[in-house]
Amino acid sequence: MISTEELLDTIRGEVLLGEPMKEHTALRIGGYADFYVDPLDRDDLCRALSLFELRNLPYTLIGRGTNLLVHDDGIRGAVIATSRALGEYTIKKNIVTAGAGVPLAVLAEKTFSLSLGGMEMLQGVPGTVGGAIAMNAGAYGQEIAGVVSWVEVFENGRPRVVPVEGIEFGYRYSSLGGCVILGSGMKLGKLSAAEHDKRDRLRREAFRERASSQPLSRPNAGSIFRNPRPEENPSGLGAGQMIDACGLKGARSGGAMISREHANIIINTGEARAADVVELICLAKEHVRKMFGVTLELEIKLFGYEKILC
Ligand SMILES: Cc1cc2nc3c(=O)[nH]c(=O)nc-3n(C[C@H](O)[C@H](O)[C@H](O)COP(=O)(O)OP(=O)(O)OC[C@H]3O[C@@H](n4cnc5c(N)ncnc54)[C@H](O)[C@@H]3O)c2cc1C
């Protein structure tokens, strides 16, 4: 085990004991993490990781918490934040080098303003570079996988660079999902003025579409379910369309509600608990299974759960 003194002696950044995870998730839900560690910089973060591995303390990386459901009983072990420690980036010509904690939206906007294309449609994805690589985040025809050249991971006590050829990416999947991602190199394309204008129009359309179809002002974690694989889904409908067809928009459990704007999103109307969200997840799965014969799979990541039984 690890003593609080040892943690405070080793880590120069902030170490919070019994930190409520609802302060760190977009859903504003989640019980206490034993330790919430916000390292000062990259070295500090690597030192924390080495210590946890040496002492066998379970830990989990968190970016901006925009794709998470944290159990009401919280998380045992440490949660390590990346935003501060890994929050730097540089852009040289068309090559971007970014720490895992850099907000994707910042990078997408900055690169596009420099007429670099390849991640402009990801501006509406509210997570970090690390979260995006772990999940292969994507939107409106672009995925982070499309620009990644290499990823730096922390493994066996030291950083290691993995070239893109060594990474498997799929729909909301990356083979680096279980790794600690420190940062990434990305190669973008130089845009002509005409191409920039064209993409700018598409980007603005996407913003408008997102604003009109998603409950952006209410706490939520984006899409709850993955869209089913076409071969398992004769209806051809997306997860949200199937849930909508089951008449579940507006369904409530405690403080959680299936969004009226987008049926694949669950919002926290105020004091929702993770258990309320799980009720709605199971309700949606049950109805979709009955009506379409399709078993929906979660896109959001569960922290503090072994698994959800429904
Ligand atoms: C309003 C809204 C809209 C969204 N729209 C989209 C969308 O269009 N497309 C889309 O793909 N997603 C979307 N999402 C989901 C989410 O923003 C993305 O999945 C994002 O990439 C998650 O990044 P994060 O930093 O918040 O990760 P977190 O939620 O903090 O973590 C997600 C997972 O990544 C892991 N992780 C985070 N950082 C690291 C790291 N450095 N190393 C290793 N693992 C790490 C975590 O352990 C966890 O398993 C949306 C979410 C919201 C709230």
Tens digit of each residue's pLDDT (9 = 90 or more) over 145-191: 999 999 999 998 999 999 999 999 999 999 998 899 999 999 999 99
* pLDDT at residue 177, as a whole number: 84
Q: Indicate whether 67 pLDDT > 90.
A: yes
Of 146 and 9, which is predicted with more confidence? 146
Sign of CA dihedral 85, 35, 267, 140: positive
230-303 folds as 3.90.78
pLDDT digits (tens, 9 = 90+) for 268-291: 999 999 999 999 999 999 999 999
pLDDT digits (tens, 9 = 90+) for 105-143: 999 999 999 999 999 999 999 999 999 999 999 999 999
- Report the top-level CATH class of 4-81: alpha beta
* Kind of pairing between the strands at 266-268 and 256-258: antiparallel
143, 136 contact by CB (below 8 A): yes
Residues 284 and 287: their CA atoms lie apart, in Å, by 5
Predicted confidence band of residue 306 (pLDDT cuts 50, 70, 90):
confident
CA 241: distance to chain centroid? 22
Predicted confidence band of residue 21 (pLDDT cuts 50, 70, 90):
very high
Alpha helices in the chain (DSSP H): 4-10, 42-54, 104-113, 129-135, 193-213, 239-245, 274-292
- For the record, the structure tokens of 170 come out as 């799929």
Which residues are near ligand 1 (CB < 6 Å)?
26, 60-68, 82, 100, 124-128, 130-132, 134-135, 137-139, 179-181, 214, 216, 220-222, 301
What are the residue boundaries of the structural domains of the chain, listed by start? 4-81, 89-193, 230-303
Predicted confidence band of residue 216 (pLDDT cuts 50, 70, 90):
confident
Choose the catalytic residue: 172, 184, 253, 259: 172
Choose the catalytic residue: 223, 259, 273, 279: 223
- For the record, the structure tokens of 241 come out as 């369309």
* pLDDT at residue 309, as a whole number: 84
- 223 flagged as catalytic: yes
Residue 236 Cα to ligand 1 middle (Å): 26
**302: Cβ–Cβ under 8 A, 6 or more apart, which residues?**
68, 69, 71, 308
Q: Indicate whether 308 pLDDT > 90.
A: no
Best of 42, 60, 62 to mutate for ligand 1, by most ligand atoms within 8 A of CB?
62
Kindly report the pTM of this predicted structure.
Answer: 0.95
Closest residue to atom 12 of ligand 1, CA basis? 137
Q: Which atom of ligand 1 is nearest to the CA of 140?
A: 8
Instruction: Please tell me if the domain spanning 4-81 has the same topology as the one spanning 230-303.
Output: no
Residue 24 DSSP class: G
- 12 flagged as catalytic: no
**45: Cβ–Cβ under 8 A, 6 or more apart, which residues?**
39, 80, 82, 85, 86, 182
89-193 folds as 3.30.465
**159: Cβ–Cβ under 8 A, 6 or more apart, which residues?**
46, 152, 153, 182
